[in-house]
Structure 1
């Protein structure tokens, strides 16, 4: 069984964010990832850029003929 748990390596120690669901001794593999600033990608696009580009038909809320047998 493989289980992934997030953690942080700091000052020579690995600190896990949650307790592993294991009761026995287990072999582990640790992969180091570059630290990424949170929400960096959200700042690239201003909010509201798609405003006015999506149009809904007037009969959007009307029942569908294909579903009459189920209603």
Structure 2
């Protein structure tokens, strides 16, 4: 079973926001996520950065012969 629990690392200690639902020994992995400025998270990507990178074939909307029996 994999369980995720939120917590805070501060002054060399990890403080869980809830008690882990385990009653026996278990291996754990800890991932540190630095708090960032909310403005950075909300910054929009400039428009047009993907322009010219997506190509569609000319027959994209044509019926697919393999699916004739199902239509």
The TM-score with structure 1 as length reference comes to: 0.47
